[in-house]
Structure 1
Amino acid sequence: MQTHISTTPFGRRRVLLGQISSQKAAREMPRDASVQKWHVFQHIREARDLLGATDRALAILNALLSFHPETTLTGDGELVVWPSNELLSARANGMPATTLRRHLAVLVDCGLIIRRDSPNGKRFARKGRGGEIEQAYGFDLSPLVARAAEFRDLAEAVQTEKKAFRVSKEKLTLIRRDIVKMIDVGIEEGVPAPWGRMQIVYRQILAKLPRSAPKQVIDAVCEELQLLWQEIRDTLESFTDSQNQDGNESHFGRHIQNSKPDSYSESEYGSGIKQEAGGTVAESDNIRALPKRELPLGIVLDACPGLAELAEGGAIRHWREFLAAAEKARPMLGISPSAWREAREVMGEQQAAITLAAIYERSDQINNAGGYLRSLTERARQGKFSTWPMIMALLRNKLDAKKMAGEGGGRRLQVSEALLNSLRKPGS
């Protein structure tokens, strides 16, 4: 005859709502449910952090499972084990009694086992005349059967998170390798770009990475490195594309030389501007042959370093700072708000800002910057204008100036022979 099944612990131990929930789940599990106990234990071990279990608590659970004679735990079988503290301590590698009791409480609080305490707190089993167990007092393993699917899902979630963490670390390693090697090849080949600034930015980003970084921090660092990687890659690809643009880069130099009108104002569309805004069929074909990708910020800053003087702190690090500096340069060049607004509408804010930066760089050679910007805007509207030749021409002029000065004074602009050939005027 079976007596009342206890739901509360012996002595001063309190019963918690979580324990009541575990008991309810165990009571309502299907009678035909069955699990392999060591498979369940493996899932619990993998998901121990999510469950709140400790390593020593799992050592005790392993010992408790060893006291159950069957490998398979079933919903209609006897799932209570009743080892003494001495036997349980021996199978838990000699764990002290105080530590044993503390981690047994952890298993109960995690809902992995249920206490089935006798009236006097002793653990034992009462058997019938046929040797079958009528009543057992000890630790009930039924939560392992009732929550087996939950433990499996938690273990799979942990494995998925570990895989995602491993992928994030691999991504970080690959991006770091790419950045370092691309910067090295850029310096070795003399590609015009602010490589020193890029190296500083790279070190600043890596400084945010602690020795043992969680996945969220690694992902955040990867996002910043991805932007730097994109800038470096675009710079190198733009350099290789520029080698195929012989003759295109000289257009801006000729265009500026003809942009010194003395009699027309910014608001006038006289014959001089119309002549400037015109172009041959060959020039239109050249524009269509130019690279379709945007100019990298590093190349623009190398070609137009004067705009950085107007930026906050005297340095430009992002396109938004570049646009802000262009806004400051506009009134200094005498360009009206209407001409600037029209240029942005036709070219787009970024391309208009690059155009203005190039005009600012050659402002000593342009008498009417506003009229000149309007003529370029009109050419852009007709699909006959690109900022690529402007920037390449400015870079070529800087190289020529350095060569004439005997490479003396200031920061040396190092370029490879390939870029020198691509920037050289046709027929020179």
Structure 2
Amino acid sequence: MHTGSVTTPFGRRSMTLALVKRQVAATEIKQGKSVDKWKVFRDVAEARETLGLQDRSVAVLDALLTFHPSNELRQDKSTVVFPSNVQLALRAHGIAGATLRRHLAILVDAGLIVRKDSANGKRFARKDSHGEIETAFGFDLSPLLARAEELALMAQEVVAARTAFRRAKETLTIYRRDVRKLISAAIEEGAEGDWQSIEDTYLDLTARIPRSPSRADVDDLLDEMQLLYAEVVSRLETQGETEFNSTNAAHDERHIQNSKPESINELEPSSRKEQGAKSGGNSLLRRPANASFPIGIVMKACPQICDYGSGGAIGSWRDLMSAAVVVRSMLGVSPSAYEEACEVMGPENAAVAMACILERANFINSPGGYLRDLSRRWERGEFSLGPMVMAQLRANNGDTVRRA
């Protein structure tokens, strides 16, 4: 049975307070607790990178567990194994002696085993008159028993992170495919707009995908690819609406020409009203900004506006719009210029524009004049926020922001 004492290592190996703490923790095991040693081993293997283990370290732990006679580690039974280095090396697939000692030390440092050395450093066990182990010297496996729940949770987190990473890579692949095919269709079918510029942005983005991307790489690239996808779809939707409106206008004109003269005065006011509504019906204007630009992407692109949010943070589109009003005043943008932007672009998109202007304030001579120019270009269909936000994302990744 485990005695609960703290022991120091034999020979030149030093004792540290961290080792003392781990040994004490290993003794604080709930009465009667038991675990399947192979279940704990699988959790350790799953979480090996988190624990700072190498594959050889896991192999050595596997070998150590084979010397424990039962499949269970129990609080009321001895958890000390005492194989010689020769026996242990054989079960660890012929690992070299120096390598074995190094990985045993790694397991100790990771808090998975504890050395329980005898007076002369030998590993052995003394048995009582009934043949039961009374005292054993070697490697104590009780930390695995004590940390079983912690190791299980650690393994679950690793599996969840790996699953999320795989899904993020799959999502990036799908967005990449969709953007590529949509751009190709737009170019091949002669859609209006600077599609070559959009394609250049796409090629630049795909060129930045590493051969073996990390989770952070995938998340950043996915944000930008989603933004580019939203920009492409918005342009195609806008063009579709323009073509639809043109068809309706031609139909209305034919209808008016074929109607009786006295009906013209009745139709014209209604027609003008409908055209006015259509002119503000661009999908980018009326769609809530968060449908085109996830708030997380806007915050990555324009982090400075967070300083003007309530409590120094922005967690919603309402927070962003409130902060944009403060920024407008701070930058000297007139209320009329901002109101015009809200009316033309929509309040959410106007807030995004103000956040981008704040990021580039040092490069813009007249923020108010610049915002009015954006509003006029938006009305003419010559400007959308996608490239502007993407430029800020790249700028925050180290690219140079040029003077507007």
Determine helix, strand or coil for the equivalent of 1:280. Answer: helix
Counterpart Cα distance in 1 of 2:198 and 2:377: 26
Q: Deviation of residue 57 (structure 1)?
A: 1.2
Q: TM-score, normalized by length of structure 1?
A: 0.63
Counterpart amino acid of residue 114 in structure 1: V
Counterpart Cα distance in 2 of 1:183 and 1:4: 69
- Equivalent residue runs for 1:215-364 within 5 Å: 215-246=215-246, 280-290=269-279, 291-294=281-284, 342=336, 345-346=339-340, 348=342
Determine helix, strand or coil for the equivalent of 2:65. Answer: helix
Q: Deviation of residue 59 (structure 1)?
A: 0.9
Counterpart amino acid of residue 232 in structure 2: I
Counterpart amino acid of residue 134 in structure 2: E
Structure-2 residue corresponding to 1:35: 35
User: 2:149 matched to 1:160?
Assistant: no
Flag the 1:342–1:119 CA change in 2: closer, same or farther, 3 A. closer
Determine helix, strand or coil for the equivalent of 1:222. Answer: helix
User: 2:17 matched to 1:17?
Assistant: yes
**Which one has the bigger helix percentage?**
2
**Cα deviations by residue, 1:332-371 (Å, 9 ceiling, x for unpaired):** xxxxxxxx9746534538659xxxxxxxxxxxxxxxxxxx
Structure-2 residue corresponding to 1:76: 76
Flag the 1:190–1:141 CA change in 2: closer, same or farther, 3 A. same
Structure-1 residue corresponding to 2:112: 112
Structure-2 residue corresponding to 1:396: none
Determine helix, strand or coil for the equivalent of 2:244. Answer: coil
Determine helix, strand or coil for the equivalent of 2:245. Answer: coil
Structure-2 residue corresponding to 1:210: 210
Does the CA-based 8 Å contact 2:6-2:23 persist in structure 1? no
Flag the 1:341–1:128 CA change in 2: closer, same or farther, 3 A. closer
Structure-1 residue corresponding to 2:64: 64
Q: Deviation of residue 85 (structure 1)?
A: 0.9
Flag the 1:122–1:5 CA change in 2: closer, same or farther, 3 A. farther
Counterpart amino acid of residue 125 in structure 1: A
Counterpart amino acid of residue 282 in structure 1: S
Flag the 1:52–1:117 CA change in 2: closer, same or farther, 3 A. same
The gaps in structure 2 that reach 5 residues or longer are 251-267, 287-300, 302-333, 347-371, 383-404
Counterpart amino acid of residue 215 in structure 1: R
Determine helix, strand or coil for the equivalent of 1:224. Answer: helix
Does the CA-based 8 Å contact 2:25-2:146 persist in structure 1? yes
Compute the RMSD of aligned alpha carbons: 3.1
Determine helix, strand or coil for the equivalent of 1:101. Answer: helix
Does the CA-based 8 Å contact 1:30-1:75 persist in structure 2? yes
Does the CA-based 8 Å contact 1:18-1:111 persist in structure 2? no
**Cα deviations by residue, 1:167-186 (Å, 9 ceiling, x for unpaired):** 11011101100100100111
Counterpart Cα distance in 1 of 2:95 and 2:142: 24
Q: TM-score, normalized by length of structure 2?
A: 0.66
Q: Deviation of residue 4 (structure 1)?
A: 9.4
Does the CA-based 8 Å contact 2:2-2:79 persist in structure 1? no
Greater relative contact order, per chain length (Cα 8 Å cut-off, separation 6+): 1
Flag the 1:97–1:283 CA change in 2: closer, same or farther, 3 A. same
Determine helix, strand or coil for the equivalent of 2:115. Answer: strand
Counterpart Cα distance in 2 of 1:226 and 1:244: 27
Flag the 1:37–1:249 CA change in 2: closer, same or farther, 3 A. same
Counterpart Cα distance in 2 of 1:55 and 1:208: 31
Counterpart amino acid of residue 196 in structure 2: G
Q: Deviation of residue 17 (structure 1)?
A: 2.4
Determine helix, strand or coil for the equivalent of 1:294. Answer: helix
Counterpart Cα distance in 1 of 2:182 and 2:91: 58
Structure-1 residue corresponding to 2:314: none
Does the CA-based 8 Å contact 1:64-1:88 persist in structure 2? yes
Counterpart Cα distance in 1 of 2:114 and 2:162: 31
Same amino acid, percent of matched pairs: 42
Counterpart amino acid of residue 281 in structure 1: S
Larger Rg: 1
Determine helix, strand or coil for the equivalent of 1:99. Answer: helix
Determine helix, strand or coil for the equivalent of 1:122. Answer: coil
Counterpart amino acid of residue 163 in structure 2: K
User: Moved runs in structure 1, 4+ residues, more than 3 A?
Assistant: 1-6, 247-250, 340-344, 346-352, 385-388
Counterpart amino acid of residue 284 in structure 2: E
Counterpart amino acid of residue 147 in structure 1: R
Does the CA-based 8 Å contact 2:2-2:77 persist in structure 1? no
Structure-1 residue corresponding to 2:8: 8
Flag the 1:218–1:350 CA change in 2: closer, same or farther, 3 A. farther
**Cα deviations by residue, 1:208-238 (Å, 9 ceiling, x for unpaired):** 2211111111111111111211111011111
- Equivalent residue runs for 1:403-414 within 5 Å: none
**Cα deviations by residue, 1:224-264 (Å, 9 ceiling, x for unpaired):** 111211111011111111222137779xxxxxxxxxxxxxx
Does the CA-based 8 Å contact 1:114-1:141 persist in structure 2? yes
Counterpart Cα distance in 1 of 2:92 and 2:377: 77
Counterpart Cα distance in 1 of 2:221 and 2:377: 35
Counterpart Cα distance in 1 of 2:377 and 2:277: 9
Q: Deviation of residue 16 (structure 1)?
A: 2.2
Flag the 1:341–1:154 CA change in 2: closer, same or farther, 3 A. closer
Determine helix, strand or coil for the equivalent of 2:154. Answer: helix
Aligned length in residues: 291
Flag the 1:346–1:248 CA change in 2: closer, same or farther, 3 A. farther
Does the CA-based 8 Å contact 1:238-1:295 persist in structure 2? no
The gaps in structure 1 that reach 5 residues or longer are 251-278, 297-317, 319-339, 353-376, 378-384, 393-428
Structure-2 residue corresponding to 1:274: none
Flag the 1:4–1:222 CA change in 2: closer, same or farther, 3 A. closer
Counterpart amino acid of residue 127 in structure 2: K
